Structure formats: structure tokens, C-alpha cells
Chains A and B, each alone.
Chain A
């Protein structure tokens, strides 16, 4: 178990080093990042001063060395726009993103799983069809459009909740529903499929034959045995929600990490973009690692050597 843990942690570290390298390469895709970072109307002298201050006039391999060393310390340089450390700017926005992604996750777990179970227990009834159509829409419609339509209906037409910004729970409802829709659809489909598979198993027929009622069999024996892939996928979805709220946060002007990233991209504030990418990747990798370990705890049959 300890050896497994060490190997997985090393793998995760590897992945993060890779991510940092790719970010560095992307930034240098067009050659000298000075032209990308500085406003087009800058004078020659300004460009040279900036190039020298940022170290872009040094050999690429030296730059990469400096980047690697400071990135390992969590130091990605100062934001070009705000003159503050880029990583602390990203970290400041993290609580808002966690609030949004956490609420979305609750929606995914509390609606996706029960709807999938119901849909599997009552196949070919209206419950099943409604759940499947909603799941199909959730998997097909782009997130931001769902967001716009929710704003149109609940904020513009009905006036129940505000259209954007941060505040009390009413501000949270629409963005969380928007962000969680796709994942809810996915979990619903997965739960339905896992349940249907388990419900056909011999031991469930035996349980029913021994006189146990439908619901008890379904939940006690069915869900109990179907939930492993569901829990795993829920963990993956939490990672996706936390690192993937970019578009939702933009649509709802939610002051989280994703919106910071989009703003930074438009302001050509690349240290901040790097910081956000690294932060999001770290969260995602660590969560996936945690899910794998949780798997071992939940299912005693799985033993890592």
C-alpha cells in the first residue's frame, strides 16, 4: 500500500511537471513572448526593457531552468497587470470557485444518482423517459447556453434570482445548476446503466425469489453493489467541476478562478494564466489520486501491491 501510494504520488508529480512544461512551451510558441505580453503600441525601448526585465533575452534553456525552479516554489512571477504574485491572485479566487463547484457537486450527487436509480427501476415508464431526455439534453447543450437560457427564464422573465454577481444563495442557484447540468446528465446515465446491469444479476433474482420487496432489493442489494463506479465517477466530476468552471463563471460574472483566467487571457497577463492552469491541474490530479485511494477503502476486494 505504501509503495503503491509512493508510486502514484510520483506519477502525479510527473504529470504536474509535464503540465508546467507544456505551459512554458505554449507561451513560447510564437517565439519571444514579449510581443504577446506587451501592448502592440509599445515603443522599441519599452519592449527591450521589458524583455530584459523578464529575462526573455536569455537562452531558452536558461529561461526554462529559472521557470522550473520558481514554479516548484509556487512562484510564477508578478501579474503584469496587478503587480502582485500571480499565484496568490489565483488562490484569492479559489474560495469563490469552491463555493460554486461544491454547490454544483451537491446537485450532481443529489439529483443525478436518485434520478438514475429511479430510471433503472422503472424502465420504459414516463420517469425513465423524462430522465433520459433530460440526460440527453444535458450531454448535448453547451454549458453557457444552458446558463443563458436559465438567466432568460428565471432572472429576466420571472425575476426570481439575480442574473449575475456574487451575494447570498440566490446568486448561487443559477450558476451552480448550469455548471452541474452536464455532470448530472453523465452521472444519471452511469447510475442507470450500472443499476440495470446489477438488477439482472442472479443474486438479485434470488433475493426477489426469497420474497424481499422491489425497493429493498434495489437499494440494499442493487445500489450497494452498483455504487463503486458511481462513486469513482463522482470524484472525477468534482475535479472537473473545480477545474472547469471557466465558461460558467464568465457567463454569470462569478469572481472565481475561471473568470480570472479568461480576464488574464484577454489582458495578456500570462503569469496569471500559468498560475491558474497549474492550480487547476494540481487540484484535478490530487483529487484523482484521492479517488483511487478511496476506491481501495470502499471495496475491500481491491488491494494495491
Chain B
């Protein structure tokens, strides 16, 4: 019995190790993915070390220096490289601190949505039958919802705040994982190494955790990257509508909501936070594209 498991397990492990090295090599040769990875690292460093990187307090108001333009434009000063907002707060410092909200939201949403979605997808694909049908129904309902509206409605009822936003976005983001993981699981469960593990007497939980999960992981990771990007955009949209984090917490969407009112006099207040979102999301997207091509060369889209 042990021999059967080992025979089924060993070649599989060997394959996955070599393909992992090959994937890494492909990723390292992809310039777009490297740019994406570099952007993600910069955002992560900003989020982790914001107090060390930002030279001034992001909430320090200076009502004698409101709406100052960026340093390279007449009227701008060196202390505020990207200028100041309507309360005289330093835009660069707020953008650096704002990366924290985006990073926390992006990672938490993937943790919530990924856990729910991958679990549901594995169970639906492996168990089939009634469980699968129930999960498929719930998936259909979730897919019918306009996502932004759903998130807005949840936040409006429960009240704004970082954790409400994370819960609202996280609970709407599981559905894509279910679709992908279920499909992968259904094709995997007929493969020899799964059949062998079952024949050797492995319990369903063990088959799912030890044999199926590692094999659907790469698809889930690729999807997770794109979900991070979506979560960052959705959080900033909620903050822009005034339904996100409280105004005292610097966030890119909140900065844009403030800057929107000064579009005709102080364009920099609306330009830079938006650029920050776009570059961060682009980095995650590029990395996701690269990961997809590297992990699964046949899945290029």
C-alpha cells in the first residue's frame, strides 16, 4: 500500500520540481513580468516602511501652504515634491502612506476570497453531485450581482471602515476561484496519481489537501494576482465615493475624492494619487500575466 502511494507520489514530485525551476526561468526572461515585480516590490516597501520613507507626517496640516503645486512648477517648494492638498498636507507623504491601505486590502481580500473560493472549488470538483449543484447555484447568484453596487450596499448598511471594505470586497471575490479550481479539479480527479491515492486508501480530505491542492495552486495564484489588482481598484472606488476608510487615514481613493473638487485650480491633487493606483495595479497585472505564462504556458490569453 505504501509502495503504491510512493510510486504515485514520486514521479509527480519530480515533475513539479523541474517544472517549478523551468517556470522561474521563464519568469526571469520576461521583461514585462520583471517590471511588474519591481513595481510590486516598491509598493510593498512603501507600505511596510512608510514611517521611515515619508519625510513628513501625512496628516500634518499647514493652512498657510494649501494647494501648493509640485516642486518643479513655479510656486512649488522643495519640502513638498508633489505639492500639497487643500489642507496643506504633503501629497507625496500621503501617497506613500496610502499604499498601506491598498496593500492591506489587496492581501486581505485575496486571503478571504481565495480561501473560500479554492475550498469551494475543490469540494465541488471532487465531490460532484449535490454539493456541486448547490455551489453552482450560489455561484450563479453571485455572478448576477453588479459587484460595485453590492459592495456599496454592504458598506452603506454596515457602515464604512477598513474592515467593512475588506469584508465587502472579499465576500464578492471568491467566485472566480470556484470556476477555475472546480474545472481543474474535475480534470485532475480522473488522473492516475489521484486514482492511485484513492486506491491506496487515502481519505478524501487527504486526497484534496495533499494531491489536489498543490496541483490547482498555480492557477489559484495567478488568479489571486488579478484579484489583488481588482481589490485595489474597488477599494479606491469605495473610498472615492466616501464609503471607504475614514478620511483621516490616507488612501489613494480618498485623496482623489478630495482632489476632485480642485480639478480646475490644482490638477496635481487629482493626478498623482490616480497615477499611484494605476502604476500599482499595472505592476500587479504585469506580474500576473508573467506568472500565468510562466506557470502554465498553454494558458496564454
> In this complex, what residue of B is CB-closest to A243?
B146
Decide if A148 touches B260 in the complex (CB within 8 Å): yes
Choose the segment among B49-57, B122-130, B269-277 that binds chain A (4+ C-beta atoms closer than 8 Å): B269-277
User: Measured between C-beta atoms, what is the minimum distance from B109 to chain A in Å?
Assistant: 16
* CA gap between A244 and B145 in the complex, in Å: 10
| B63 located at the interface, meaning its Cβ lies under 8 Å from any Cβ of chain A in the complex | no
Choose the segment among B11-19, B148-156, B203-211 that binds chain A (4+ C-beta atoms closer than 8 Å): B148-156
Decide if B267 touches A152 in the complex (CB within 8 Å): yes
Interface of B is mostly: helix
* CA gap between A145 and B272 in the complex, in Å: 10
- Beyond A140-B285, A277-B153, whether A244 also contacts B270 by CB under 8 A is no
Report B134-152 CB contacts with A as 1/0, cut-off 8 Å. Answer: 0001101101111111101
| B301 located at the interface, meaning its Cβ lies under 8 Å from any Cβ of chain A in the complex | yes
What residues of B have a CB within 8 angstroms of the CB of A113 in the complex? none
What residues of A have a CB within 8 angstroms of the CB of B256 in the complex? 144-145, 148
Residues of A65-94 contacting chain B, CB below 8 A: none
Decide if B282 touches A136 in the complex (CB within 8 Å): yes
| A219 located at the interface, meaning its Cβ lies under 8 Å from any Cβ of chain B in the complex | no
User: Measured between C-beta atoms, what is the minimum distance from B155 to chain A in Å?
Assistant: 8
* CA gap between A140 and B278 in the complex, in Å: 5
* CA gap between A119 and B260 in the complex, in Å: 35
What residues of B have a CB within 8 angstroms of the CB of A152 in the complex? 263, 267, 270-271
What residues of B have a CB within 8 angstroms of the CB of A251 in the complex? 260
Query: Of the candidates B144, B148, B154, B259, which one forms a contact with A284 in the assembled complex, judged by CB atoms under 8 Å apart?
Result: B144
* CA gap between A244 and B146 in the complex, in Å: 6
What's the tally of chain A residues with a CB closer than 8 Å to chain B? 51
* CA gap between A250 and B270 in the complex, in Å: 16
What residues of B have a CB within 8 angstroms of the CB of A125 in the complex? none
Interface of A is mostly: helix
Choose the segment among A17-25, A43-51, A99-107, A293-301 that binds chain B (4+ C-beta atoms closer than 8 Å): A17-25
What residues of B have a CB within 8 angstroms of the CB of A143 in the complex? 237
* CA gap between A22 and B282 in the complex, in Å: 33
Choose the segment among A8-16, A169-177, A207-215 that binds chain B (4+ C-beta atoms closer than 8 Å): A8-16
User: Measured between C-beta atoms, what is the minimum distance from B57 to chain A in Å?
Assistant: 26
- Beyond A15-B143, A247-B241, whether A149 also contacts B264 by CB under 8 A is no
| B300 located at the interface, meaning its Cβ lies under 8 Å from any Cβ of chain A in the complex | yes
- Beyond A137-B282, A142-B237, A142-B278, whether A247 also contacts B148 by CB under 8 A is yes
What residues of A have a CB within 8 angstroms of the CB of B156 in the complex? 265-266, 268, 273
* CA gap between A46 and B148 in the complex, in Å: 33
User: Measured between C-beta atoms, what is the minimum distance from A101 to chain B in Å?
Assistant: 12
Decide if B285 touches A136 in the complex (CB within 8 Å): yes
Decide if B144 touches A281 in the complex (CB within 8 Å): yes
> In this complex, what residue of A is CB-closest to B281?
A140
What residues of B have a CB within 8 angstroms of the CB of A244 in the complex? 146-149
Decide if A11 touches B274 in the complex (CB within 8 Å): no
> In this complex, what residue of A is CB-closest to B32?
A136
Decide if A26 touches B157 in the complex (CB within 8 Å): yes
Report A181-193 CB contacts with B as 1/0, cut-off 8 Å. Answer: 0000000011001
Decide if A26 touches B154 in the complex (CB within 8 Å): yes
User: Measured between C-beta atoms, what is the minimum distance from B179 to chain A in Å?
Assistant: 14
Decide if B240 touches A144 in the complex (CB within 8 Å): yes
> In this complex, what residue of B is CB-closest to A194?
B301
| B233 located at the interface, meaning its Cβ lies under 8 Å from any Cβ of chain A in the complex | yes
Decide if A148 touches B229 in the complex (CB within 8 Å): no
What residues of B have a CB within 8 angstroms of the CB of A149 in the complex? 270-271, 274
| A121 located at the interface, meaning its Cβ lies under 8 Å from any Cβ of chain B in the complex | no
What residues of B have a CB within 8 angstroms of the CB of A151 in the complex? 263
| B158 located at the interface, meaning its Cβ lies under 8 Å from any Cβ of chain A in the complex | yes
Decide if B149 touches A246 in the complex (CB within 8 Å): yes
Q: Please report A residues at the B interface, Cβ cutoff 8 Å.
A: 11, 14-16, 18-19, 22-23, 26-27, 29-30, 33, 36, 136-137, 139-145, 148-149, 151-152, 156, 189-190, 193, 243-244, 246-247, 250-251, 258, 261-262, 265-266, 268, 270, 273, 276-277, 280-281, 284-285
Query: Can you spell out 24 A-B residue pairs with CB atoms less than 8 angstroms apart?
Result: A14-B137, A14-B141, A18-B137, A18-B140, A19-B141, A26-B154, A27-B157, A30-B158, A33-B157, A140-B229, A140-B285, A142-B253, A143-B237, A145-B256, A145-B277, A148-B259, A149-B270, A152-B271, A246-B152, A247-B148, A262-B152, A265-B152, A270-B157, A280-B146
- The 3 A-B residue pairs whose C-beta atoms are closest, nearest first, are A18-B141, A145-B274, A140-B282
Q: A22-B141, A26-B157, A156-B263 are in contact. List 19 more A-B contacts (CB 8 A).
A: A14-B141, A15-B144, A18-B138, A30-B157, A140-B278, A142-B253, A142-B278, A148-B270, A148-B274, A149-B270, A151-B263, A152-B270, A152-B271, A250-B241, A277-B146, A277-B150, A281-B145, A284-B144, A285-B144
